[in-house]
């Protein structure tokens, strides 16, 4: 076993033990309240919220996938920085969701969607849709860890052993600490990842080129493929106008409605969080994506040329063979940490929907039965373990189709709740019929465009077409139906009044129906 493998194992081992201790240390604090377990008592400060959101978006796939994809496809991949828009989305969309969460006790995306569209069935449909994408996507994070650890230690650590270790860490951390523990570790992981990324960039340039970045350009200027990849459409011609729009749309539209990002709108401490998110999150994106793109289109080709046949592992390869062992080991730790951060955030969001929105709500709440908070947290922990076992089975079997389509379908399917979310927050005429028709039609289009039609009209992606048809049908059907007045008052008018008045939600005591007790038949005009 070489020195690099030793460093990697030691760092990942220490990191894992630290996470387990940090999670279990909060076990008692989170055992008595779902508000604490799911939402960290809605007290996450601005810096932690920015870091937690950013690292949950990046994931292990982004940390290693962005350089790989930009190496193969070119600088047009930077159009993924359309994710800058997520900061503005947090300031506008996220702030309204936070206001509603404060007043009505919202915890999950389903709380809002079910309540705004006065439909238990629509809530169940959205919950199943999201959970169905969460499980394989978390499994994909674990596969990334297993592959990365196996390659980085040159086969010394078996794939499944690395996955099993990661599963145990995630399970114990979420099991014990809930959202508060997750937010704290996300902050640590973001700082670790940012620091390591730029140290790796500097080390690769200094160790392998004379003249710094000028030397890098001198190394690639005579390679037509590398030079073509410095601009759009790139050497492969991928980033035409439709390709750029597809990439930007995926990054900007889908991100805010990913369930683990959606839920972060509820955990903020104050209005100031959202004001800072408007510029803080784009700044975090810029600092991270710039480094990743530089490796993919500049440093990687400068060292390896344009014909490297292991492009999917360009970061671990560069870190292993062209950087000092300690830097290489820390880079592997970043993959480990980023993948775990995304995995546990999604796991927590998924377990909340399964436990709260499906099991507890339909087994107890809708029957008028009270639920003890301690029992609710305990059931959530049971679901954490069950979902981790399910993901472990997927990772063990490693079905290529499931892994492939989990990645290709996650953003498009999650994005199908975007029209209902925006319409539900800002448009008084939005109805449950419009939400139903738009969401289902969008999912059908995404499915057809992914599985059955390889080339869609005008070169736009399945996500783009699904979102367009979803939004059009949502508007048309909503105009042909009617939304109950009390729904408009509770979820739009009241929020607009709070915003106009500049009211501090921390002192508001809402005299309204809480999400936990809401039932469609309680609406006087629902049947009209």
User: What is the full DSSP assignment across 153-192?
Assistant: TTTSS-HHHHHHHHHHHHHHHHHHHHHHHHHHHHHHHHHH
Closest by CA to 284, choosing from 73, 120, 57, 103, is: 57
pLDDT for the residue numbered 425 = 95
Reported confidence tier of residue 401, pLDDT bands at 50, 70, 90: low
Reported confidence tier of residue 158, pLDDT bands at 50, 70, 90: confident
In a domain, 483, yes or no: yes
In a domain, 526, yes or no: no
Please give the mean pLDDT across all residues of the chain.
84
pLDDT for the residue numbered 400 = 58
In a domain, 211, yes or no: yes
Closest by CA to 292, choosing from 469, 494, 464, 80, is: 80
Reported confidence tier of residue 399, pLDDT bands at 50, 70, 90: low
Give me the DSSP letters along 412-447.
Answer: HHHHTTHHHHHHHHH-TT--HHHHHHHHHHHHHHHH
What is the pLDDT averaged over residues 216-241?
83
CA distance 520 to 11: 52
DSSP code of 44?
Answer: B
Of the listed ranges 426-440, 454-468, 494-508, the least confidently predicted one is 494-508
Give me the DSSP letters along 68-86.
Answer: HHHHHH-GGGGGGGGGGHH
Q: Count other C-beta atoms under 10 Å from residue 305's C-beta.
A: 13
In a domain, 409, yes or no: yes
Of the listed ranges 111-125, 318-332, 505-519, the least confidently predicted one is 505-519
pLDDT for the residue numbered 434 = 97
Q: Is the dihedral of CA 305, 306, 309, 314 positive or negative?
A: positive
pLDDT for the residue numbered 518 = 47
Closest by CA to 66, choosing from 57, 76, 54, 77, is: 77
Residue corresponding to tokens 């190496």: 71
The answer, yes or no, to whether residue 515 has pLDDT greater than 90, is no
Entry pTM:
0.87
Domains of the chain: total? 1
Report long-range pairs for 369-377 (Cβ below 8 Å, ≥24 apart). Answer: 373/32, 373/33, 373/34, 374/31, 374/32, 376/34, 377/30, 377/31, 377/32, 377/33, 377/34, 377/37
What is the pLDDT averaged over residues 120-137?
91
In a domain, 515, yes or no: no
The answer, yes or no, to whether residue 222 has pLDDT greater than 80, is yes
pLDDT for the residue numbered 83 = 62
Closest by CA to 123, choosing from 462, 466, 360, is: 360
Reported confidence tier of residue 270, pLDDT bands at 50, 70, 90: confident
Reported confidence tier of residue 522, pLDDT bands at 50, 70, 90: low
pLDDT for the residue numbered 407 = 64
Q: What is the distance of C-alpha 301 from the center of its chain?
A: 29
The answer, yes or no, to whether residue 60 has pLDDT greater than 70, is no
Reported confidence tier of residue 517, pLDDT bands at 50, 70, 90: very low
pLDDT digits over 343-358, tens only?
Answer: 888 999 999 999 999 9
- Which segment, 29-38, 188-197, 466-475, 492-501, is predicted with the most confidence on average? 466-475
In a domain, 511, yes or no: no
- The tokens of 67 are what? 């350089």
Q: Which residue has the higher pLDDT, 355 or 502?
A: 355
**Residues of the chain above pLDDT 90, percent:** 30
Query: Which residue range is the domain that position 129 belongs to?
Result: 3-506
Alpha helices in 295-417 (DSSP H): 300-304, 314-322, 325-352, 361-363, 373-397, 400-415
pLDDT digits over 439-478, tens only?
Answer: 999 999 999 988 888 777 887 888 889 999 999 999 999 9
pLDDT digits over 68-113, tens only?
Answer: 888 888 877 777 666 667 788 888 899 999 999 988 989 999 999 9
The answer, yes or no, to whether residue 255 has pLDDT greater than 90, is no
- CATH for 274: 1.20.1730.10
pLDDT for the residue numbered 67 = 86
CA distance 103 to 134: 28
What is the pLDDT averaged over residues 120-128?
95
pLDDT digits over 276-288, tens only?
Answer: 888 888 888 888 8
Give the length of the chain: 528
- Which segment, 15-24, 54-63, 317-326, 396-405, is predicted with the most confidence on average? 15-24
In a domain, 522, yes or no: no
């Amino acid at each position: 076993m070489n020195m690099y493998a030793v460093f990697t194992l030691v760092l990942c081992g220490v990191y894992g033990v630290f996470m387990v201790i940090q999670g279990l240390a909060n076990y008692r604090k989170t055992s008595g309240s779902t508000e604490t377990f799911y939402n960290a008592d809605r007290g996450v400060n601005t810096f932690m919220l920015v870091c937690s959101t950013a690292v949950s978006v990046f994931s292990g796939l982004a940390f290693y996938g962005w350089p790989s994809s930009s190496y193969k496809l070119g600088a047009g991949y930077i159009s993924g920085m359309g994710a800058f828009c997520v900061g503005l989305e947090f300031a506008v969309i996220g702030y309204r969701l936070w206001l509603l969460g404060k007043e009505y006790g919202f915890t999950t995306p389903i709380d809002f969607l079910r309540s705004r569209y006065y439909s238990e069935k629509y809530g169940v449909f959205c919950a199943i849709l999201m959970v169905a994408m969460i499980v394989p996507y978390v499994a994909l994070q674990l596969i990334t860890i297993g592959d990365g650890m196996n390659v980085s230690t040159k086969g010394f650590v078996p794939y499944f052993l690395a996955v099993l270790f990661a599963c145990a860490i995630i399970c114990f951390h979420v099991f014990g600490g809930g959202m508060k523990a997750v937010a704290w570790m996300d902050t640590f992981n973001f700082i670790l990842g940012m620091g390591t990324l730029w140290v790796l960039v500097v080390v690769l340039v200094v160790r392998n080129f004379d003249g710094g970045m000028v030397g890098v350009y001198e190394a690639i200027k005579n390679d037509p493929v590398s030079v073509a990849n410095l601009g759009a459409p790139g050497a492969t011609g991928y980033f035409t106008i439709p390709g750029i729009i597809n990439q930007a749309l995926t990054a900007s539209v889908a991100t805010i409605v990913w369930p683990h990002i959606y839920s972060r709108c509820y955990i903020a401490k104050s209005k100031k969080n959202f004001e800072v998110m408007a510029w803080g999150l784009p700044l975090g994106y810029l600092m991270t994506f710039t480094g990743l793109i530089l490796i993919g289109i500049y440093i990687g080709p400068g060292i390896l040329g344009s014909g490297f046949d292991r492009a999917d592992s360009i970061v671990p390869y560069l870190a292993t063979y062209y950087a000092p062992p300690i830097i290489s080991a820390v880079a592997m730790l970043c993959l480990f940490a980023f993948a775990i951060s995304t995995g546990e955030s999604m796991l927590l969001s998924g377990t909340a929907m399964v436990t709260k929105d499906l099991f507890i709500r339909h087994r107890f709440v809708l029957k008028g039965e009270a639920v003890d908070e301690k029992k609710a947290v305990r059931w959530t922990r049971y679901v954490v373990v069950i979902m981790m076992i399910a993901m472990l089975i997927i990772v063990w079997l490693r079905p290529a189709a499931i892994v492939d389509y989990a990645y290709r379908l996650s953003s498009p399917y999650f994005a199908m709740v975007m029209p209902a979310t925006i319409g539900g927050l800002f448009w008084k005429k939005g109805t449950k019929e419009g939400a139903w028709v738009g969401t289902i039609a969008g999912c059908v289009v995404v499915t057809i465009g992914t599985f059955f039609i390889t080339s869609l009209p005008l070169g736009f992606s399945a996500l783009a077409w699904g979102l367009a048809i979803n939004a059009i049908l949502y508007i048309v059907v909503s105009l042909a139906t009617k939304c109950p007045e009390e729904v408009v008052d509770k979820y739009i008018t009241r929020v607009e009044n709070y915003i106009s008045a500049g009211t501090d939600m921390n002192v508001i005591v809402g005299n309204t129906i809480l999400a936990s007790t809401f039932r469609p038949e309680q609406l006087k005009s629902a049947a009209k």
